[in-house]
Every structure is written in structure tokens, then in C-alpha cells.
A and B are shown apart, each in its own frame.
Chain A
Amino acid sequence: MAQHKINYTQNGGLPVALTSMDKVVNWGRSNSLWAMTYGLACCGIEMMAAGASRYDFDRFGTIFRASPRQSDVMIVAGTLTKKHSEFIKRLYDQMTEPRWVISMGSCANTGGMFNTYATVQGVDRIIPVDLYLPGCAPRPETLQYGVMLLQKKIRANKASRAQKPKRLM
């Protein structure tokens, strides 16, 4: 994981006074989290399993989209190589606000077992991450739990004003 501080949304998770308007907006946001299809390695298989009928992401309103412009959450599932690092940044920039990132698996969290010259040691060196899922690979249940925690996080935020854009730098 990166050493630098990430500028997360202010007061994320703290009890803030939410108006009914916030609640309605957050209800909409948190229950239609469209995820960007971003399987980079073996973790991608678990992500696909989570989307398929047995674990069924659709129940949570999470549908995989093939375009960053239509998605709210980027599930980085797998090993990020240095060659690919500029593209993940580009795709992240193409997503519309508000946007969230789940880093799935050891590889995306820290580089994992790929302690080599060609692997980025944690995606948070490139993009700000909201949720880290441990495991190699995390089971689909873990990913579902992660998405539920993300929904909880979204519900805790004020929605009436535009969310402060997250920036790594």
C-alpha cells in the first residue's frame, strides 16, 4: 500500500445529519452501484462468479458495465502491471462523479505475491481506493460484503451537495 495520505471524502462514516433528500439520493446511489468490468487476473474470476447467478450481484442493483462512463464503482480485481498502470488511471478519470473504487485481492492491495519489477505495488499508488478486500482471491461472499459496506458508506454521506471529488494528488 502507498505511504501517502489519500484525500478521502470528508467525514466518511461519521454520523452526520442527513436530510430526507440525502436519504432518497443515497438510496438511489447505493442501490444501483454499476460496477465497471475490470478483471485483471485470477481475482477477476471470483468477481465474475459474484456477478453470475449463484451469488447474483443483480439483487443489490450491481450490474457490470463495459464502459467507465456508465459505471459508479471500479472493482480492481487482479494484478496491476506497470504497463497497464496508465490505462487504469485513464479509465478512472473517465468515470463520472461520484465514483468509488474497490481494490480486490492482495495483488491490487499491495502487489501481493508479485514482488517483481513489473507489478504496481498497490493500486492506491495510482488511484484513490475506498475499500480494500483482503484475500487471494477473496471469495464472492467477501466481494458482496464489500459492496454492502460500500453501500453503507454511501448512505452515511451527505448527497445534497456534490461530493468532494477524490484526488490522489
Chain B
Amino acid sequence: MRAYKAKGDVQAKPYYTDRYWVAPQVAKFDVESDEVFAKDLEVIKSKFDVLEAFIQVEQMTVFIKPEDNYRVLELLKNELEYTQLSEMSAIDFLETRDGFEVFYQMLSMNKRKRVRIKMFIKNGVAVNSVEKLFRSADWSEREMFDMFGIEANDHPFMKRILMPYDWQGYPLLKSYPLQGDEFASWYEVDKIFGKEAREEIGPEIRDTATIDRYDSERFARLGHEVPKGTKITGNEPKVTQSYQEDGGVFLIKKLDRDNSKVIDDPQR
């Protein structure tokens, strides 16, 4: 895999120096400003350590300790009426803090409120599975493992879900190149034909914008097609498109425009 390089503000750099650049933040509000959330937070705080809590975009975000996650979600589900886990995944903070933020997005249909439970885990640490509480966590945790490599303890089937089982690397890590690493770019060739075939099949051509009009092996100039492999001079005659040989085809009637009836009234 490629070395980890900081690219937090690649786009901002040409315009601002680091000295003046401030990452834009969504406004945070005090939890006290919403009474439903304030009550919920009280209940959570009475049983667990809450590291931080605030309201952002009308949702409460609560930071908890990673070892409490199962019991906090249990509390939310059974006592606070947050009966749905609508989404969960992780965010890669390896570069700045050497770890991941795992979030659980909860929805209460009764209260019409959403709560986000977040926790920070160090790189290489597994989380507790919440699959016993929410069936939706089954696939979400597998996806989290697939994309970030975070394992969930006590998960019934901790395998990759989107990528093939024999895949190497975790594609949603910020260090993972979009066009794939060495393993990814040769995956299908290695698997189907074996490593020996690499030379014959050649590397992937990723720049689909390159067109070599003198290459008649892989390209055809529309309207000026030549047989494969012909040397192109640049003055190819125009070829009219046809779908049948000139002399007609054995046992098949060729369309004769003069004999055919053209229906020009669509409402006929």
C-alpha cells in the first residue's frame, strides 16, 4: 500500500496558507437548548461517562467510551425509545489522531428525534458488535470491516461484504488510492490467469481520454474504419455504414427502400 501522506487541505492550499486557514465548522448548540435531548442526555450521563455532547443540525451528538457502546445503545433502544439504528460506520482519522471515529445514527419515531452516538477507537482496536440489538448492524459492521478493517467482536459472520473475500486492503481508508493499489490492479488477471499472464495482458489503461488515431489495433475512426492493424495514413476514404453485403444475402431479402412503405402519420 502507498505511504500515508497528509492531504487534508489539498484544495485549500493554493488559496490560503495554513496560518490563516480555518476548517469550516457547522454551528454547535448546547444540549440544554432542547428539552427532549437534555432529558435523554441526563439518563445517559447517570449511567455512563459522556466525553462530549452537543447539538448540530438539530441532532444530538454524544461521545462515549468505546467499551460502553453496546450498553449505551441498549439503553437508548429499551428506555429512550430510539428504536432504529439507521446507519453506522467509521471515519478515518488515522493521519491526525491514529484512530477511527465510529458512529451510530439512531432514530426515534416516537420522539421524532435523531441521536448520533460517537466513539473514538485507536487503530487496530476492535469494537463490540451491536448486532444482537439491531439486525441492521449485521451488514453495517461487515461493511465497516470491509472498508476500514475495524473488526466487531461477537459478530456472527465477520467477513467482507462488498469486496471479494480474498481482497487485500481497505478501500475507504484515506491512504487507499482511488484507482487501486498493486493488488487491486492485477486482481482479476492474477485470479483467473495467474501471475504469469500479467506480461501478456498488460497493465490497466486508466486514462480513457487517450485516443491514438494512428492505432488501428484498438481504435476505429467513425466513418473511416479500416481493417484491424492497417497502417493509417490519414486519408482514409469515407466508409458508408451498411449492415448487409452489397450483393444481398443468401435466403435473406434485402430491404428495398422504394418498395417499403414509410408510415409518416404516427397517429395512424
Contacts and interface: CB of A to CB of B under 8 A. Distances in A.
B250 A2 contact: no
Contacts of A53: none
A31 B252 contact: yes
A117 B180 contact: yes
B36 interface: no
A27 B243 contact: no
Nearest to B249: A155
A7 to B, nearest CB: 11
B88 to A, nearest CB: 22
A8 B243 CA distance: 21
Interface string A125-169: 110000000000000000001001101100100000000000011
Contact of B164 (A26, A83, A145): A83
Contacts of A23: 250-251
Interface stretch (A34-42, A68-76, A107-115): A107-115
Contacts of B171: 117-118
A118 B179 CA distance: 8
Contact of B245 (A14, A85, A122, A152): A152
B204 interface: yes
B144 to A, nearest CB: 17
Nearest to A31: B252
Interface residues of B, number: 39
B200 A169 contact: yes
Given A86-B192, A148-B244, A169-B193, A115 B206 contact: yes
Contacts of B208: 106, 110-112, 115
Interface in B158-195: 162-164, 171, 176-181, 184-185, 187-189, 191-193
Given A27-B251, A125-B189, A5 B204 contact: no
Contact of A116 (B180, B218, B244): B180
A23 B248 CA distance: 12
A125 B218 CA distance: 13
Nearest to A134: B222
Nearest to A5: B217
Interface string B232-262: 0000000001011100011110000000000
Chain A, interface size category, equals: 35 or more
B193 A82 contact: no
A116 B245 contact: no
A3 B177 CA distance: 23
A143 to B, nearest CB: 13
Given A82-B184, A148-B244, A118 B202 contact: no
B259 to A, nearest CB: 18
A85 B192 contact: yes
Interface string B112-145: 0000000000000000000000000000000000
B184 A117 contact: yes
A156 B150 CA distance: 57
A14 B181 CA distance: 43
B205 interface: yes
A117 B177 contact: yes
Interface of B: 162-164, 171, 176-181, 184-185, 187-189, 191-193, 197, 200-206, 208, 217-218, 227-228, 241, 243-245, 249-252
Given A116-B180, A117-B181, 18 more contacts: A1-B218, A2-B202, A4-B201, A13-B227, A26-B250, A82-B164, A106-B208, A116-B179, A117-B177, A117-B184, A117-B185, A118-B163, A121-B204, A145-B241, A148-B243, A151-B243, A168-B193, A169-B200
25 contacts: A3-B201, A3-B202, A4-B201, A23-B251, A24-B250, A27-B249, A27-B250, A31-B252, A82-B187, A82-B188, A85-B191, A86-B192, A110-B205, A111-B206, A116-B178, A116-B179, A117-B171, A117-B179, A117-B180, A117-B181, A118-B180, A121-B204, A126-B188, A148-B244, A155-B249
